[in-house]
């Protein structure tokens, strides 16, 4: 369980980095001199959306694994106390 949790944590961290990069690219396109190219802005915004959705999926999986881990720990604790 802990190796799965660790792998999800590392993967989620990579997804956060990918979202950061996509947001920086979007900001760069929008801050461009002479007005932003609409197609480039749209593409950058779609990349932010895609990366954000991927991050949310990772965080959902991480949340499920943590919930299972907590449930397992609580069960083990109850057994050891009983």
Residue 24 scores a pLDDT above 90: yes
Mean pLDDT of the chain: 88
Cα 24 from chain centroid? 16
Q: How far apart are CA 55 and CA 39, in angstroms?
A: 24
Residue 29 scores a pLDDT above 60: yes
| In the chain, domain spans | 2-81
Residue range 9-24: average pLDDT?
90
Instruction: Write the pLDDT tens digit of every residue in 63-75.
Output: 999 999 899 999 9
Residue range 33-53: average pLDDT?
88
Residue 34 scores a pLDDT above 60: no
Tokens (6 digits) for 40? 């480039």
Domain 2-81 CATH (choose: 1.10.10, 1.20.120, 1.10.287, 1.10.30):
1.10.287
């Amino acid at each position: 369980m802990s190796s799965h949790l660790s792998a999800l944590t590392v993967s989620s961290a990579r997804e956060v980095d990918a979202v950061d990069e996509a947001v920086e690219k979007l900001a760069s396109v929008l801050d461009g001199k002479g007005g932003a190219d609409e197609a480039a802005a749209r593409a950058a915004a779609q990349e932010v959306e895609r990366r954000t959705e991927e991050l949310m999926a990772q965080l959902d999986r991480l949340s499920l694994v943590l919930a299972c881990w907590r449930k397992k720990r609580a069960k083990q604790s109850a057994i050891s106390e009983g």
